[in-house]
Each structure stands twice: as C-alpha cells, then as structure tokens.
Amino acid sequence: MSEIRIIDVKEGILSDNHMEADKLRKELRSRHTFLLNLMASPGAGKTTTIIKTLEMLDGALKVGVLEADIDSTVDAELVAAAGAQAVQIHTGGMCHLDAEMTRAGLEGLDTASLDLIILENVGNLVCPAEFDTGASCSVMILSVPEGDDKPLKYPLMFTVCSAVIINKIDCVPFFEFDFQEFKRRVRKRNPDIAIFEVSAKTGAGFLPWVEWLSAKVNAWNETS
Amino acid sequence: MSEIRIIDVKEGILSDNHMEADKLRKELRSRHTFLLNLMASPGAGKTTTIIKTLEMLDGALKVGVLEADIDSTVDAELVAAAGAQAVQIHTGGMCHLDAEMTRAGLEGLDTASLDLIILENVGNLVCPAEFDTGASCSVMILSVPEGDDKPLKYPLMFTVCSAVIINKIDCVPFFEFDFQEFKRRVRKRNPDIAIFEVSAKTGAGFLPWVEWLSAKVNAWNETS
C-alpha cells in the first residue's frame, strides 16, 4: 500500500485563472518559496529529471514536489523514495492544472519550510501551456526520441517557458535529432529561452541546468 | 512553398458530439470508407507509422490521410511525398478533434474513392481520448522511450482503442521497457485490445498490424 498523500483536484470554478494565478504567485513569494512548473509530453523524463535534480542539489535547497497525474501514484512514490516531500495530485481526467488546482495541491506540502516546489504537470504539450498555474517560472522537457520538429507543431508550449531541457541525449545514436535546427526553431518562437542538453539517466549536462535553477530560486527568494 | 491543402477547423458548436459522430460514421459506412483515428503522444511515431503502413499496403487499399496539428504542414508533406492523398488540418490551438472538425477535414479528400482514411489526431494522450471523431475504429501508438507505465497514468486512452502499436522496438537496448508488464497493464484496462510490436523506422513487425487493419477495413466496407 502506498503511503503517498493523494489530493483529488477539480478544475477551478473561478472565471479569472490569471488573477488567481497572480495571487498565488504573490503569496508564494511572500513565503520565500519558488514554484517551478515543469511540463513535457508523456514519457519525456519529467520524474527522472526531478530525481536527478534533487540529487545534484544535494540539500542546498529545501525541495517539495507535486506530482500531477490523471491516475496512479508511481511518480510520487519514486520522488518520495528519493527523499523529497511529495504529494500526488489526481486531476480527475483533466489534461492540465490551473491555479486553483495547484493551490489545492500545495496544501499537502509544508510550503513555508520549502525553498523550491517542483510541480510536475500532466504529460501533455498542448493544454498545460494555456493555463497559468501561479508558478514563478515554467520549464519544459523535450526528449530526443520525440524529434526536432516539435517547436513547429506545439508553438505555445515553447513560447511560455523560460527554459527547455533536451533530455535523453544519451540515446542520440538511435534517433535523427538535429540540435542546431531544433534550437533555431525554438528561438524563433522564444529568443530568450535557455536551452540545456541533458541525460537524466546518466546525469550528463545537469550542472548548468541546476546552477541556472538555483540562481532563479535564490534571486526570487531574496527579493521576496 | 507548400502545396498541401490546409483546412482550419474550429471546435464543434454542436452540443451532442456523440450524435454527430454516429451520423458521420454511418455516412462513411454507406460510402464504403473506413476511418481510422490514430492517437499518440507527440513524437511517438504516428506519421512514420502511417508512411510505413502505406508502403506495406502497396496499393491494396486506396488510402487518404488527414493530418491534424496546431500548426505546420510538415506531416502532410511527408505523407503526400509517400504518395497518399493528404490534407493538413489546423486546429487553431485545440488539443483534440471532434466529429464536426473531422467532417470539415474530410471535405478536403475525395472520400467516395477511398477505402481507408487515416486521421492522425493531435499528439496528446489525454484529450483526444475523450472525443468521438466518427471513426470506424481508434488505434494508439505507444513508443518504447515513453515507458511501460503509461497505461497507469492515461487509462482512458488505453480503454477507448481497439489496438495499441508499441513502436520504436529497435531502440529497446537504450530503454528499460518491460513488455510483459506493459501488456498486463493495458489488458487490465482493456482485455480485448490487440497489441502489435513494431519499428516504423525498420519496418519490423508491420505485417501482423497491416493484416489486422486490412481485415478490419474489408469487413467494414463489405457490410456497408
């Protein structure tokens, strides 16, 4: 039996999600807590990236994790086993999280004691990009097997994120993935986006990503 | 410049999508045309699977393809280059297709002359599963890099499909994918589902899939 706390959330009834998201963002800022909204396709490696990030941070930041899924607790169990405070959010079939759902999930964590909360959004490159969760920052993962043409097909996701992590670079020999072309396509949508190349499996390339994230978290929490 | 025909579709205004889907299904049946709704995550290999299927069919069925994406025409161009009638549907940001959007897309094809129309739905394991497109049959692709835990997280998708194609089996050495466990999880949701193991890149495993599909198409069109 799982000991993971499960929180069932429903789509917000508030008509103005943007206002609710801004309110949540300000509250988190006043509590010196940075909320990272992590988005990707199913199977891009969100959970593995979170676990490797926790390992690399090695206690330098106090981290909690919200795992959103339609069903199951497999991700929250993995993250809890890696030593983080973890809560599983069940979206009741919903394809994304909004600010009200995120707020409900945050109630399962001791936010005041945490520097960083990572929200693993539902695996989906479309809908999550349309809803502000109240996060301090949104980041996406695109894995090599998905292909370098995704910025052409899912433009909004690449536009709303501050960084894109290219994951599974260890399996490059198996796939045709043109890194230069991918970066060109991403930067056409979003010229200021940070791009990292990693393997969450081997840990390759994690240092620049973890340094970038830590700097963001520290800057946010110091100016609270 | 692309010569692909692009059809912009909007979400149906009809309240009863199910009724509209049934109507479309009956019309297609009376025209002896089988509509396959193909769903998967972004980058699972939908377009490559369609192209390899066309190659294996080798003219035995007259096939048209509807490529649904939020933006770009890259998929329709690839399919047209492989010799099929192809139409690009732009969903205007929508995360799925419904029956009315499918009907609008079908207007770009000479349906009466076609035995089989393959509808490549938006890359998404959540929303497309919730909307009946009017298809004769729904099939999904799950690629090895996405992982064997997906039936736990996206239960509805695995429930509404008549077959699941496990793609990218050529890259199994790079990923931990437990085929037995995956099949057990899928069949728990959907005991009657057909499961195929293929590599759209190498063509491995395509014969059973193409035979299964051809039998479905012929049975449908003969009983029209």
pLDDT of residue B224: 56
pLDDT of residue B11: 64
Reported as type and span, the H/E element at residue B58 is none
Rounded mean pLDDT of B146-164? 97
Instruction: Give A11's contacts in chain B (Cβ within 8 Å).
Output: none
Question: Which residues have CB under 8 Å from B184's CB, separation 6+?
Answer: none
Instruction: Give B156's contacts in chain A (Cβ within 8 Å).
Output: 70, 93
Query: Is B126 in the A-facing interface, judged by CB distances under 8 Å?
Result: yes
- Tell which A residues from 130 to 189 touch B, by Cβ distance under 8 Å: 130, 143, 145-147, 149-150, 152-156, 168, 170-171, 174-175
Query: Is A2 in the B-facing interface, judged by CB distances under 8 Å?
Result: no
Q: Where are the beta strands (DSSP E) in chain B?
A: 5-8, 34-40, 63-69, 85-90, 116-120, 137-143, 163-167, 194-197
pLDDT of residue B2: 41
Q: How far apart are CA B51 and CA A118, in angstroms?
A: 39
CA distance to partner chain A, nearest, from residue B32 (Å): 32
Q: How far apart are CA A38 and CA A17, in angstroms?
A: 18
For the stretch B11-47, pLDDT in tens is: 666 569 999 999 999 999 999 999 999 999 999 999 9
| CB spacing of A150 vs B93 below 8 angstroms | no
pLDDT of residue B1: 33
Percent of chain B at pLDDT above 70?
A: 95
* Average pLDDT, rounded, for chain B: 93
Q: With a cut of 70, say whether residue A13 has pLDDT above it.
A: no
pLDDT of residue A222: 87
Edge-to-edge strand ranges of the sheet holding B63-69: B5-8, B85-90, B63-69, B116-120, B34-40, B137-143, B163-167, B194-197
Question: Which residues have CB under 8 Å from A26's CB, separation 6+?
Answer: none
Write the ipTM.
Answer: 0.87
Q: With a cut of 90, say whether residue B10 has pLDDT above it.
A: no
CA distance to partner chain B, nearest, from residue A174 (Å): 7
Query: Is A19 in the B-facing interface, judged by CB distances under 8 Å?
Result: no
Q: How far apart are CA B221 and CA B224, in angstroms?
A: 5
CA distance to partner chain B, nearest, from residue A59 (Å): 29
- Total length of chain A: 224
pLDDT of residue A2: 41
pLDDT of residue A223: 75
pLDDT of residue B37: 98
